[in-house]
């Protein structure tokens, strides 16, 4: 059987096409999961350092 | 969305494989951008839910949201344009960290959260709305992302200005005084053979340079011309010789952030996982180097985009590894980033192989990238998807093996790779003390070296980085500009190349006898320093100093032996 086109599915909600007005009151569980994932990332200084870490040309990555 | 419920972002295995080969076409890159936009919106909603209810000097986060939503209703394209600016993404991620207290901030929270006022005002101005709002002033500038900045000389680092937009006129006031000077946010468009690249030249946004806000450093008109012409030259090169990379850059590169050069011999550039499609860089000296930097940094962006959608490695905060392009030990995640970026850059230099420096860089990155893939594969820290990704990279880099490189460039590259790895070992690895004692006992008793390396040495990151790549810089100089290199003298080398010694110059010039004498003198003067030991190893072609210099140095510290004699003993295995 051929592989499904989007066979690697993330937990990040696809908000394409959703207006800011709709987003303000959106209560979809998928948004809740995305917020929870985001908060666990934002609350972790180790991950913050990893994300912010400069990846620098010839000096290294 | 389908059936009324939002879907989640995903990735096809076909696109994953294309990314793993260093490519990923327009549609695949646009999918990463789309996911980044969703992540930004999730961040904004999280900030909205968590921001303090009380109004600060800039009002409430909710009021700024309302202005942004009103602008979207009037002109959704204007809002999309502002929200696509990478500095807006950097701000949102950092503001959430400030709000949650996970990183320290020297900016007050009202200022950090109030940046949404500036974003909303920029969108509302672009949408042509009539409105009035307060906007933050940072180090004398009230910046409206994508629009520009009003000069507001308050004398304070953080302040508030009033913005009034009516009938197409925008007025910014502070303390009743109207700002009269306006700095535009510039956008560069370059085109070659019908393919266009459009990027912001962001010298204004407070959050353009990742992490804490930075004061604007507005470019002069001449500097903007320089950036534009440099980008035009690099773009011609990319479109004509590296079309797949050009296609990805067209879809995903959105901002260049002018930065400062950190040294004569190192290009300076950076990316952040928070700011997809943004590259902070000092302008390199020529088109190939600028093109290589863009490919390099955009590869980091692509991998950061992938990491939002799929996990390639298992989180491990303890184990750190050798990465051939870093002077310090790195977590596996960092090694993956390096391999991925250098995979694309190595392809670039392979195709550019028209001069000495291109041959050398291709050969160097080839040997380093393949070595780092070995490290990743041995780590045991890949997910199933990660194993597929790295296996695809492995197949791709094997295609480099048969690409011919002139012998002298290949030898120079292998020497630089060996130099870096051995230097790293000497700086960061500590051999097992019991094993050192056993080897010392063998030496003292006049026995032969048994060839037993003992337990794996412990990685103990050395503090205080010095310049450990002086010999590499000398070799690159000799390749790039042999005429000026010939004028370099033993007396002047240290002043010209930080960290370089007369011994290093002799080694690069092929004066090995004198280099050996000078390195032995260096070791006598500084027995624990890394430069003398590794230089000696390169000079005499020592296997022990290439493969386990940390053990040789530890034994040397415990016995009464001439360094050359001890090295010969180890190498006599």
Query: Cβ A20–B274 below 8 Å, yes or no?
Result: no
Helices (H) and strands (E) in chain B, counts: 23, 15
Chain segment B485-494, per-residue pLDDT in tens: 999 999 999 9
Q: What is the mean pLDDT of residues B434-449?
A: 97
pLDDT of residue B483: 94
In DSSP terms, B160 is beta-bridged to: B136
- Read off the DSSP letter of residue B457: P
The pLDDT of residue B390 is: 98
Burial track B424-436 (b if 16+ CB lie within 10 A, e otherwise):
bbbbbbebbeebb
The 3-state secondary structure of B42-94 reads HHHHHHHHHCCCCCECCECHHHHHHHHHHHHHHCHHHHHHHHCCHHHHHHHHH
Nearest residue of A to residue B62, measured between CA atoms: A24
Closest CA–CA distance from residue B80 to any residue of chain A (Å) = 11
DSSP secondary structure letters along B234-276:
HHHHHHHH-HHHHHHHHHH--EEEE-----TTS--EE--TTST
The residue behind tokens 């001439």 is B562
Cβ–Cβ under 8 Å, residues B230 and B188: no
pLDDT tier at A48, thresholds 50, 70, 90: confident
Q: Where are the alpha helices (DSSP H) in B380-430?
A: 384-398, 407-428
**Own/partner pairs for B278-283, CB < 8 Å, 24+ apart?**
B278/B86, B278/B87, B278/B90, B278/B202, B278/B208, B278/B254, B279/B253, B279/B255, B280/A54, B280/B208, B280/B209, B280/B210, B280/B256, B281/A57, B281/B256, B281/B257, B282/B258, B283/B226, B283/B227, B283/B230, B283/B258
Of B53-67, B98-112, B430-444, give the range with the top mean pLDDT.
B430-444
Does the pLDDT of residue A7 top 80, yes or no? no
Using a CB-CB cut-off of 8 Å, the residues of chain B touching A1 are: none
Cross-chain residue pair B12–A13, CB shorter than 8 Å:
no
Domain residue spans in chain A? 28-52
For B:15-44, CB contacts with A below 8 A are 16, 34-35, 37-39, 41-44
Nearest to B340 by CA among B380, B316, B313: B313
> Which residues in chain A touch residue B327, judged by CB atoms under 8 angstroms apart?
60
Residues B13/B19/B25/B28 CA torsion (nearest 10 deg): 50
Answer whether residue B410 shows pLDDT above 60: yes
Name the residue among A3, A10, A56, A61 with its Cα closest to residue B17: A3
**Confidence bin at B4 (pLDDT 50/70/90):** low
B288-336 confidence digits (pLDDT tens):
999 999 999 999 999 999 999 999 999 888 999 999 998 889 999 999 9
Closest approach of chain B CAs to the CA of A11, in angstroms? 6
Read out DSSP for B516-546? HHHHHHHHHH-TT-HHHHHHHHHHHT-HHHH
Which DSSP category does B179 fall into?
P
Q: Where are the domains of chain B?
A: 31-181, 409-571
Distance CA B79, CA A19 (A): 11
Average the pLDDT over B172-199 and give the result. Answer: 96
All residues of chain B having their beta carbon less than 8 Å from the beta carbon of residue A48 are 97, 102-103
Q: What is the pLDDT of residue B122?
A: 98
Between A57 and B121, name the one with better pLDDT: B121
From chain A, pick out residues whose CB is under 8 angstroms from the CB of B299. none
Q: Which of B6, B262, B309 lies closest to A15 in CB terms? A: B6
Residue B260: pLDDT band with limits 50, 70, 90? confident
Cβ neighbours, 10 Å, residue B486: 9
Q: Which two tokens stand for residue B200?
A: 């912001």
Distances (CA, A) of A33 to A40, B39, B115: 11, 12, 26
- Say whether pLDDT at B246 is over 70: yes
Could you tell me the pLDDT band of residue B463, with boundaries at 50, 70 and 90?
A: confident
Whether A58 has a pLDDT exceeding 60, the answer reads no
pLDDT of residue B469: 86
CA separation for the pair B7, B459 (Å, rounded): 44
Residue B171 in this model has a pLDDT that exceeds 50: yes
Ordered DSSP codes for chain A: -PPPTT-EEEEEE--TT--HHHHHH---HHHHHHHHHHHHHHT-HHHHHHHH----TTT--
Buried b / exposed e over B108-141, threshold 16 CB at 10 Å, is eebbbbbbbbbbbbbbbbbbebebebbbbbbbbb
Residue B58's φ and ψ, nearest 5 degrees, are -110, 15
Contact A35 B326 (CB under 8 A): no
Q: Where are the alpha helices (DSSP H) in B253-355?
A: 287-309, 332-351
Strand order in the sheet with B182-184: B177-178, B169-174, B158-166, B131-138, B141-144, B148-151, B182-184
pLDDT of residue B487: 95
Checking if the pLDDT of B526 tops 70, the result is yes
Which of 30-59 (A) contact B at CB < 8 A?
30-31, 34-35, 38-39, 42-46, 48, 50-59
Chain B closest-CA separation from residue A2 CA (Å): 11
Q: At what angle do helices B243-252 and B221-241 cross, to 10 degrees?
A: 130
Are the beta carbons of B341 and A15 separated by less than 8 Å?
no
Residue contact A15–B326, C-beta within 8 A: no
A54 vs B9: CB contact, 8 Å cut-off? no
- Contact (CB<8Å) B38/A16: yes
CA distance B195 to chain A (A): 26
> Is the pLDDT reported for residue A56 higher than 70?
no
Those of residues 262-281 in B touching chain A at CB distance below 8 A are: 262, 266-274, 280-281
Q: Of chain B residues 434-473, which have a CB less than 8 A from chain A?
A: none
Mean model confidence pLDDT for chain B = 94
Q: Nearest-CA neighbor of B118 among B208, B217, B249, B242?
A: B208
Interface touch A55/B341, C-beta < 8 Å: yes
Distance from CA of B69 to the nearest CA of A (A): 5
Cβ contacts of A42 on chain B, cutoff 8 Å: 46, 93, 96-97, 100, 102
Residue range B401-420: average pLDDT?
Answer: 94
With a CB-CB cutoff of 8 Å, which residues 367-396 of chain B face chain A?
Answer: 385
Mean pLDDT of B278-292: 94
Cα–Cα distance for residue pair B123/B125, rounded to 1 Å: 5
Span B210-236, mean pLDDT? 96
Q: How far is Cα B237 from Cα B249, in angstroms, rounded to an integer?
A: 13
If we measure between CA atoms, which residue out of B174, B97, B164, B167 comes closest to residue B140? Answer: B174
Q: How far apart are CA B201 and CA B466, in angstroms?
A: 33
Count CA atoms within 13 Å of residue B97 on its CB side: 26
B225: phi then psi, degrees, rounded to nearest 5: -60, -45
Give the single-character DSSP code of B469: -
């Amino acid at each position: 059987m051929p592989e499904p086109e989007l066979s690697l599915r993330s937990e990040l909600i696809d908000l394409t096409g959703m207006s800011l007005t709709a987003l303000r009151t959106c209560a979809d569980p998928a948004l809740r999961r995305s917020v929870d994932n985001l908060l666990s990332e934002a609350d972790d200084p180790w991950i913050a350092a990893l994300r912010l870490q400069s990846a620098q040309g010839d000096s290294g990555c | 969305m389908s059936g009324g419920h939002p879907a989640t972002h995903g990735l096809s295995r076909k696109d994953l494989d294309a990314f793993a080969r260093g490519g990923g076409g327009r549609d695949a890159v646009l999918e990463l951008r789309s996911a980044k936009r969703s992540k930004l919106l999730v961040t904004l909603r999280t900030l909205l839910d968590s921001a303090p209810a009380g109004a600060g000097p800039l009002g409430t986060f909710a009021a700024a949201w309302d202005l942004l939503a009103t602008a979207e209703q009037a002109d959704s394209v204007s809002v999309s344009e502002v929200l696509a600016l990478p500095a807006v993404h950097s701000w949102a991620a950092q503001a959430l960290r400030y709000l949650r207290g996970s990183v320290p901030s020297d900016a007050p929270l009202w200022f950090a959260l109030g940046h949404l006022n500036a974003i909303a005002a920029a969108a509302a101005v672009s949408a042509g709305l009539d409105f009035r709002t307060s906007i933050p002033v940072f180090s004398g500038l009230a910046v409206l992302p994508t629009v520009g900045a009003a000069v507001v000389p308050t004398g304070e680092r953080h302040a508030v200005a009033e913005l009034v937009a009516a009938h197409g006129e925008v007025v910014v006031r502070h303390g009743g005084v109207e700002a009269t000077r306006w700095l535009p946010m510039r956008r560069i468009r370059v085109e070659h053979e019908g393919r266009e690249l459009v990027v912001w030249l962001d010298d204004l946004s407070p959050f353009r340079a990742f992490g804490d806000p930075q004061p604007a450093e507005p470019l002069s008109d001449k500097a903007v011309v320089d950036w534009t012409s440099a980008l035009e030259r690099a773009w011609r090169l990319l479109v004509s010789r590296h079309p797949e990379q050009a296609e990805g850059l067209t879809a995903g590169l959105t901002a260049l952030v002018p930065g400062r050069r950190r040294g004569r011999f190192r290009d300076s550039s950076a990316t952040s996982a928070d700011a997809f499609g943004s590259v902070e860089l000092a302008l390199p000296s020529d088109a190939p180097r600028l093109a290589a930097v863009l490919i390099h940094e955009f590869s980091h962006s692509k991998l950061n985009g992938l990491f939002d959608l799929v996990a390639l490695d298992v989180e491990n905060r303890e184990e750190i590894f050798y990465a051939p392009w870093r002077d310090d030990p790195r977590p596996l995640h960092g090694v993956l980033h390096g391999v991925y970026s250098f995979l694309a850059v190595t392809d670039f230099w392979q195709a550019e192989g028209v001069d000495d420096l291109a041959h050398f860089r291709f050969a160097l990155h080839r040997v380093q990238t393949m070595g780092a893939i070995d490290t990743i594969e041995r780590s045991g820290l890949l997910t199933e998807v990660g194993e597929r990704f790295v296996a695809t990279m492995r197949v791709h880099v094997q295609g480099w093996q048969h690409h011919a490189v002139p012998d002298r460039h290949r030898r120079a590259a292998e020497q630089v790779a060996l130099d870096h790895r051995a230097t790293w070992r000497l700086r960061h690895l500590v051999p097992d003390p019991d094993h050192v004692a056993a080897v010392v006992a063998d030496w003292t008793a006049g026995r032969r070296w048994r060839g037993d390396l003992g337990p794996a040495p412990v990685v103990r990151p050395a503090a205080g980085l010095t310049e450990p790549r002086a010999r590499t810089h000398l070799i690159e100089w000799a390749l790039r500009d042999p005429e000026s290199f010939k004028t370099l003298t033993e007396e002047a080398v240290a002043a010209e190349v930080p960290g370089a010694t007369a011994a290093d110059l002799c080694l690069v010039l092929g004066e090995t006898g004198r280099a050996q004498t000078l390195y032995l003198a260096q070791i006598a003067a500084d027995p624990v320093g890394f430069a003398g030991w590794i230089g000696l190893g390169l000079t005499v072609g020592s296997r022990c100093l290439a493969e386990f210099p940390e053990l040789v140095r530890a034994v040397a510290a415990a016995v009464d032996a001439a360094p050359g004699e001890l090295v010969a003993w180890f190498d006599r295995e």
